[in-house]
């Protein structure tokens, strides 16, 4: 049984993709760390990208992630304002400061290979390092980016992304979670908090989770105050700032908190709230598409759903309370772990149902707990949200996390809120579909789905909307 912490599900990193950007970045850090003392003797280094990593790697910034990762920068702390200049310097000088230890010759055009017609068996997101040392020996290591920023190495005994930790309340399925909640009398967030004590103190967990919210919150605010076009060639115009300016009008504010209050005091009609939820989600994913700081929730492509729903909660439904935010994120994370363990959170494995669908289910459960829902109602909300994302394909135009990805986050957020409302006014005992049943169905659907709809840009909108004629 895999042990997954809330801090595994929510990772601070850089957009635009958790599996194609953050995962390869982390794989590079793992590889350079494993080089150890051999790093001084590196003569030549090449990186081979396979399957989905190759097919949409340029649009997802995989080559950028490789260069930054090999240089030894931390995706959680690296100043994203310097990405272009850092990568531009490597391209121009054709050399790389490997793990900031030794300079090696490195021409990205010839040292990073996009093998679009080749796949490795374990997962579509595969990458291989070929490293020649001065004395002629060759180091070859293969890694898989399996979604949500999780990375496994081929030589690991069990190909597990996380270290096994003994938990007081191990959860493999929704029925496990419900049983522990019944036995302990704790809500979902309470069970999660007890399990987190296997990794760190309660105080450290609370502080770390609230830090996750701070990054999400800042991402929303920055995204609502940044205009222009997204990078990548599609010429997609940012819309969050346009919506923000239109709805705020001349209301004064100076920072996030005064902005939040102004939004709260500005109206409560259905259209008003709906527009703001969409704005929150757009803001995050426009930042994500621009290689800015985001949180995997559970992935980068779906990074806007949970922040948008949580922002909706603290703005329109309840007083801003740190404990409420903590409970929301803990509950959401546990739902995400169930999907990861019993299905997938990788679009390259399961299409967009594995990203937007899972994020919507996570958000629905978190919102339901914070609005006073019972554990069965939380699980019912997650089930409803995923049930109505089943079969959603991943078909990004131009291989970019922009169309239809950004708008899908608004849809996922609204569906999460709707699912929560339905569950709060329903009797879970009379439900026809369980969360475990919908997770099983999602995984079976993922296995049946044609590979061209799994983050390859080989089907769907990616081939039917010419870039020059797209909505951009």
The confidence band for 260, taking pLDDT boundaries of 50, 70 and 90, is: very high
Q: Which residues on adjacent β-strands are paired with residue 131?
A: 45, 139
Q: What proportion of the chain, given as a percentage, has pLDDT over 70?
A: 97
Provide the pLDDT for residue 143. Answer: 97
69 contacts 25 by C-beta, under 8 angstroms: yes
And the tokens for 100?
Answer: 């900031």
**CA–CA separation, 93 and 114 (whole Å):** 21
194-215 per-position pLDDT tens digit: 999 999 999 999 999 999 999 9
How many Cα atoms are found within 13 Å in the side-chain-facing hemisphere of 312? 32
Provide the pLDDT for residue 208. Answer: 98
Residues in the chain: 472
Provide the pLDDT for residue 135. Answer: 84
The confidence band for 468, taking pLDDT boundaries of 50, 70 and 90, is: low
Residue 162 has pLDDT above 90, yes or no: no
**Average pLDDT estimate for 161-178:** 90
| Residue closest to 263 by CA, chosen among 236, 245, 288, 282 | 245
Distances (CA, A) of 202 to 163, 165, 194, 199, 418: 20, 16, 8, 9, 32
Provide the pLDDT for residue 2. Answer: 84
- Residue 374, phi then psi, degrees to nearest 5: -75, 170
CATH topology of domain 17-153: 60s Ribosomal Protein L30; Chain: A; (3.30.1330)
And the tokens for 291?
Answer: 């290689």
**Average pLDDT estimate for 127-145:** 95
Residue 472 has pLDDT above 60, yes or no: no
If one compares 21 and 135, the residue with the highest pLDDT of the two is 21
Residue 157 has pLDDT above 90, yes or no: no
* Prior bond of 470 cis (ω within 30°): no
328 contacts 181 by C-beta, under 8 angstroms: no
* Prior bond of 142 cis (ω within 30°): no
Residue 99 has pLDDT above 90, yes or no: yes
Distances (CA, A) of 199 to 161, 166, 167, 196, 290: 16, 10, 9, 6, 33
Residue 246 has pLDDT above 50, yes or no: yes
Q: Which residues on adjacent β-strands are paired with residue 133?
A: 42
Tell me which residue has tokens 């374990």: 122
Burial state string for 301-312 with b = 16 or more CB within 10 A and e = fewer than 16: bbbbbbbbbbbb
Q: Where are the domains of the chain?
A: 17-153, 174-463
169 contacts 195 by C-beta, under 8 angstroms: yes
How many Cα atoms are found within 13 Å in the side-chain-facing hemisphere of 452? 7
127 contacts 53 by C-beta, under 8 angstroms: yes
**CA–CA separation, 435 and 379 (whole Å):** 6
**112-115 vs 42-50, strand pairing mode:** parallel
Geometric angle at alpha carbon 348, from 345 and 349, rounded to 5°: 65
The confidence band for 319, taking pLDDT boundaries of 50, 70 and 90, is: confident
First to last CA, the chain: 45
Residue 161 has pLDDT above 90, yes or no: no
143-153 per-position pLDDT tens digit: 999 999 999 99
| Residue closest to 273 by CA, chosen among 83, 464, 417 | 417
Geometric angle at alpha carbon 144, from 446 and 173, rounded to 5°: 50
383-423 per-position pLDDT tens digit: 999 999 999 999 999 999 999 999 999 999 999 999 999 99
And the tokens for 246?
Answer: 């239109």
Secondary structure (DSSP) of 359-390: HHHHHHHHHHHHTT--HHHHHHHHHHHHHTTT
Chain mean pLDDT for the chain: 95
Provide the pLDDT for residue 160. Answer: 56
**CA–CA separation, 30 and 6 (whole Å):** 21
Residue 42 has pLDDT above 90, yes or no: yes
Q: Which residues, 6+ apart, have CB-to-CB distance to 421 below 8 Å?
A: none
């Amino acid at each position: 049984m895999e042990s997954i912490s809330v801090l595994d599900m929510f990772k601070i990193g850089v957009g635009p993709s958790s599996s194609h950007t953050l995962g390869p970045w982390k794989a590079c850090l793992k590889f350079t760390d494993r080089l150890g003392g051999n790093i001084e003797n590196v003569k030549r280094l090449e990186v081979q990208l396979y399957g989905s990593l190759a097919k949409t790697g340029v649009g997802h910034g995989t080559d950028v992630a490789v260069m930054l990762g090999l240089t030894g920068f931390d995706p959680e702390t690296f100043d994203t304002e310097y990405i272009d200049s850092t990568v531009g310097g490597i391209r121009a000088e054709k050399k790389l400061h490997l793990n900031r230890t030794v300079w090696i010759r490195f021409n990205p055009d010839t040292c990073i290979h996009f093998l679009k017609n080749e796949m490795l068996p374990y997962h579509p997101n595969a990458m291989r390092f070929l490293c020649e040392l001065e004395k002629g020996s060759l180091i070859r290591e293969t890694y898989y980016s399996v979604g949500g920023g999780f990375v496994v190495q081929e030589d690991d005994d069990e190909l597990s992304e996380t270290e096994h930790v003994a938990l007081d309340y191990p959860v493999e399925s929704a029925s496990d979670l419900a049983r522990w909640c019944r036995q302990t009398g704790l809500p979902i967030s309470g069970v999660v908090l007890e399990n987190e004590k296997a990794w760190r103190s309660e105080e450290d967990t609370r502080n770390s989770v609230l830090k996750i919210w701070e990054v999400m919150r800042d991402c929303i605010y920055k995204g609502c105050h940044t205009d222009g076009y997204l990078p990548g060639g599609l010429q997609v115009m940012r819309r969050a700032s346009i919506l923000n300016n239109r709805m705020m009008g001349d209301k004064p504010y100076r920072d996030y908190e005064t902005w939040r209050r102004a939004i709260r005091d500005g109206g409560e009609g259905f259209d008003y709230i709906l527009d703001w939820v969409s704005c929150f989600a757009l803001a995050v994913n426009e930042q994500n598409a621009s290689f800015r700081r985001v949180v995997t929730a559970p992935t980068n492509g779906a990074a806007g759903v949970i922040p948008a729903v949580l922002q909706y909660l603290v703005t329109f439904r309840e007083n801003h309370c740190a404990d409420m935010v903590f409970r929301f994120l803990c509950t959401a994370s546990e739902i995400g772990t169930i999907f990861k363990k019993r299905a997938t959170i990788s679009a390259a494995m399961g299409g967009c149902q594995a990203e937007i669908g899972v994020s919507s289910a996570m958000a629905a459960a978190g919102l339901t707990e914070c609005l006073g829902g019972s554990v069965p109602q939380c699980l019912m909300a997650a089930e409803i949200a995923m049930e109505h994302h089943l079969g959603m394909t991943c078909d990004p135009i131009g291989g970019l996390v922009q169309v239809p990805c950004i708008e899908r986050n608004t849809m996922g957020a609204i569906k999460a809120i709707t699912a929560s409302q339905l569950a709060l006014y329903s009797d879970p005992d009379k439900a026809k579909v369980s969360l475990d049943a919908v997770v099983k169905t999602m995984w079976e659907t993922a296995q049946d789905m044609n590979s061209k709809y799994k983050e390859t840009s080989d089907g769907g909108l990616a081939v039917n909307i010419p870039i020059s004629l797209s909505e951009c």
